[in-house]
Amino acid sequence: MRSKRFLTVFLILVALIGSALVWAARSHRVMLYQQGNPEVPQGRAFVIMNPFRNRRPEEVADELMSDLRTNRCEQILRDLNSDASQVCLIMKQNKGARLIWRQDESTSRVLVYHLPESKSNLRITSRRDPEVGFIVSGVSLIR
């Protein structure tokens, strides 16, 4: 009797999880659920990302953040016409970053990463280039 109840509960859970995965796979939304505001660094932001999303913009952002932790940071930001004074200092202090917001438009992308050591957020914007795809167009710090 007890094993039948366990099996029933297990099958219901499998069906619910399977349904959620099918819904996520068919959804074109990048964020399935979002709570909070990425523009407020001390505020709480919680997001459930679509596991089937295109992660290439996030890979580009990870490469950029890695480069911003090097001695080339100021030159990179100068090329992007972004303020280098605070970003370079904050990026060298922060070894980790967590994606808390992503907005995809047809010609632009906005990704916001939480930097826990400095309790700030990094906003990375990119635009579509017809020849190479999306390229980073700006970086700013939300403090």
List C-alpha distances in Å: 60 to 19, 55, 66, 78, 134.
31, 9, 10, 18, 9
Whether 2 shows a pLDDT value over 80: the answer reads no
Residue type, 83: D
Q: At residue 7, does pLDDT exceed 60?
A: yes
Confidence band, pLDDT 50/70/90 cuts, at residue 106 = confident
Examine the pLDDT at 23 and tell me if it is beyond 70. no
* Token pair 């970086």 in the structure block, residue: 139
- Band the pLDDT of 51: cuts 50, 70, 90: confident
pLDDT on residue 24 = 59
Q: For the structural domain made of 30-142, what CATH number should be given? A: 3.10.450
Give yes or no for residue 1 having a pLDDT over 70: no
Running DSSP on this structure, what letter comes out for residue 82? -
Helix/strand/coil for 71: coil
Distance CA 5, CA 15 (A): 15
pLDDT digits (tens, 9 = 90+) for 24-45: 566 567 787 788 777 765 666 7
pLDDT surpassing 90 at residue 123: yes
Q: What is the pLDDT of residue 91?
A: 93
Give the pLDDT confidence score for residue 40 in this predicted structure: 62
Distance of alpha carbon 62 from alpha carbon 56, whole angstroms:
10
141: nearest Cα among 116, 113, 117? 113
